[in-house]
Amino acid sequence: MIIDTQKIEKLLGSPISGDQIEANTGIGKKTIWNYRNGKAKLYNMTIGNAYKLCLFWDENGGKEMIDVNIKGVKSAVGDFNKWQGAARIYFDNLALKAWTNVYTSPGSYDDYHDNNIVEIFSKATNNMAERDLKITMIQLKEMCAEWLDEH
């Protein structure tokens, strides 16, 4: 990959939060804040950090992401990705909260009698390739944001 400083400048100048960049690149919020405020110069950035920031920008197509504060995203993604069985990620669009429920059989689900709770993503155990299915925090946030936009 070629390090593109223009991509890095666009990312650091975007409304994407430091929390979101940290969660997806591993670069600390303080470091990101220092780059954004000029306390740390981009020309002194490590190649590793530059690579991570470019990769993050490329993986998201350079699009500005909606920074909706959804509670439980990190936990929901962790629980979903660790479980090698049937799992469903639910989203409460009123409380802006996501969580994962895991199941012992692929057809299992929780029937929430609340129109504000929707299933966002799932995997089953009856398909061996699906049991290792994983999701990222960005993907989950985007799915929740898309659901909010559509409804």
pLDDT at residue number 46: 94
pLDDT at residue number 119: 94
- Does the reported pTM lie above 0.85? no
Round to whole Å and give the CA distance between 109 and 124.
Answer: 11
Q: Is the pLDDT of residue 81 over 60?
A: yes
CA proximity to 53, closest of 24, 73, 29, 74: 24
- Give Dmax over CA atoms of the chain in angstroms: 55
Q: Which residue is it, tokens 């929707």?
A: 118
Structure confidence at residue 67 as a pLDDT band (50, 70, 90) = low
pLDDT at residue number 80: 95
Bridge partners for 102 per DSSP: 87
Q: What are phi and psi of 121, to 5 degrees?
A: -155, 150
Structure confidence at residue 57 as a pLDDT band (50, 70, 90) = confident
- What percent of the chain has pLDDT above 70? 93
Mean pLDDT along residues 48-74: 79
Structure confidence at residue 130 as a pLDDT band (50, 70, 90) = confident
Average pLDDT, the chain: 87
- Residue-wise pLDDT for 35-55, tens only, equals 999 999 999 999 999 999 999
> With contact defined as beta carbons under 8 Å apart, do 25 and 76 qualify?
no
